[in-house]
Chains A and B, each alone.
Chain A
Amino acid sequence: MDVEIARTLDGALAYLASRPDAEPIAGGTDLMVEMNFGRHRPKAVVAIDRIDELRELLVAHGRVRMSAGVTYARMLREEIGSPAMRQAARTVGSPQIRNAGTIGGNLGTCSPAGDTLPVLAALDASVVLRSASGDRRVPFTQYMTGPKKTIRRHDELVVAVEWNDAGDAQVFMKAGTRNAMVIAVASLALVVDGRRSRVGIALGSSGPTIIRATEAERFGEGLMDETGWGRRRVPSDAALAELGSRVAAAARPIDDVRGTAAYRRHVLSVMARRAFARAVLLA
């Protein structure tokens, strides 16, 4: 295995272009596990954790641009233009993992259990990919195509993710059978964006990709239209229950070692009800 330590983004991209068998490594929190267990050992890796350009974090004019090398720990320390993203970052692994792991790594691996991914989906974020031939911007929902599958070409790097600042009415929740350091049995991000009259709801660990609960989103928008955006009125229990069942219906969960499909649907509906009730009070 060859190891290249990239100092610049162009250097990293040039290396990837020249080595079709190379993989990027940043925090190492996913790839190193595969390597330690001998499950996967690439022929070459390029370390991209020293590239200053990948550490930029811009929150300005209602737009957030988070570069790929931003760690979860930084998301907790700095202004990042998304309370839900911060809540998601807090649930990632442990302090050790949050100091090393990055948003780019979450996007690079793209596990359905990736904690920040439902937030990106709910925010309608765009993933910025760069190769030697230039940039392309792809909505997150198109970027992820399956479990650990994305449209990223081998010679591309995720360099940043961008979203519109959607205000304070955002909630991320994650269910797991331990109070910390647990992989999501199911997770949910919910955004009530009063400025754009938009509700975004996305589900993690609930199917082969992050799932947007579009029926529930429309229903949520209808509820907000009725009660008034920004008026901080919690909908009726019946309305919340309907929202919850629409979220549950959107999920495509399976039974696995971490939980059952039935529980996942159930807890998604509970999370949706609670998250919506919490979010409207923050609007």
Chain B
Amino acid sequence: MKLSLRLNGADRTADVAPHESLLTALRERFVLPGSKNACDQGECGSCSVLLDGELVCSCLVLAAAAEGREVRTAEGLTPDGGLHPVQRAFVEAGAVQCGFCTPGLIVAADALLRAEPEPTVAEIREALAGNICRCTGYGRIVDAVQRASKGIYE
């Protein structure tokens, strides 16, 4: 069936299977593999996207039910020719290892900082508890979010 939506600021249309998730549609139909498929059940956050501005797991969104809605993925956060402040902070802080969780974390951290520009460490941890990272032990991720929070979102 046809799915039309506003994807990273552009109107896009693709054929999707009726039962498939938004994550599958993003990866396979729109060829935006930045949203990652690590658990398929909302337990890892690697597929995090903004759906009408709300942070969700795209694996738990029925693609067909996203008709007409606005979706922003990790790819869509990247400005032309550069890096988003959160992306830059992750690179500089050493928060990236294998990187499989990274796009989802970037989206989640951006959502946090928009809502709370200067979060405490406890707030950072609670807000990112849905994003599993198996490589870093999270220390550099906390550091990256703190770096990104400093003044950028005011």
A→B interface (CB under 8 Å)? 1-3, 5, 25, 27-29, 32-33, 35-37, 41, 45, 47, 49, 73, 93-97, 99-100, 179-181
Contacts and interface: CB of A to CB of B under 8 A. Distances in A.
Given A36-B41, A37-B41, A99-B55, A3 B64 contact: yes
Which of B42, B56, B57 lies at the interface centre, i.e. has the most chain A CB atoms within 10 A of its CB? Answer: B42
A23 B143 CA distance: 44
Contacts of A96: 42, 45, 48, 55-57, 60, 108, 130
B24 to A, nearest CB: 8
Interface string B58-77: 01111011010000000000
Interface in B1-55: 1, 18-19, 21, 40-43, 45, 48, 54-55
A1 B60 contact: no
B129 interface: yes
A15 to B, nearest CB: 13
A29 B65 CA distance: 13
B118 to A, nearest CB: 18
Nearest to B65: A47
Contacts of A27: 60
A49 B68 CA distance: 13
B62 A95 contact: no
B106 to A, nearest CB: 14
B126 interface: yes
B91 interface: no
Given A3-B1, A28-B60, A32-B60, A93 B130 contact: yes
A32 B59 contact: yes
22 contacts: A2-B18, A3-B18, A5-B67, A28-B61, A32-B21, A32-B41, A33-B41, A33-B60, A35-B19, A36-B40, A47-B65, A73-B54, A94-B42, A94-B45, A95-B111, A96-B55, A96-B57, A96-B108, A97-B60, A100-B54, A179-B129, A180-B129
B65 A25 contact: yes
**SS class, residues of chain A in contact with chain B:** mixed
A45 B43 CA distance: 23
A96 B111 CA distance: 10
Given A3-B65, A47-B65, A181-B130, A36 B59 contact: yes
A95 B130 contact: yes
Given A96-B56, A97-B57, A33 B42 contact: yes
Given A1-B18, A94-B131, A100-B54, 20 more contacts: A1-B19, A3-B62, A5-B64, A28-B61, A28-B62, A29-B42, A32-B42, A35-B19, A36-B59, A45-B62, A45-B65, A95-B130, A96-B48, A96-B55, A96-B56, A96-B130, A97-B60, A100-B61, A180-B126, A180-B130
A97 B111 CA distance: 14
Contacts of B129: 94-95, 179-181
B127 interface: yes
A78 B65 CA distance: 26
A100 B65 contact: no
B130 A100 contact: no
Which of B1, B18, B67, B111 lies at the interface centre, i.e. has the most chain A CB atoms within 10 A of its CB? Answer: B18
Given A3-B18, A32-B21, A93-B42, A100 B62 contact: no
Contacts of B61: 28, 32, 100
5 shortest interchain CB distances as A-B pairs: A94-B130, A180-B129, A47-B65, A3-B64, A1-B18
B21 A95 contact: no
Nearest to B59: A36
A257 B40 CA distance: 20
A32 B108 contact: no
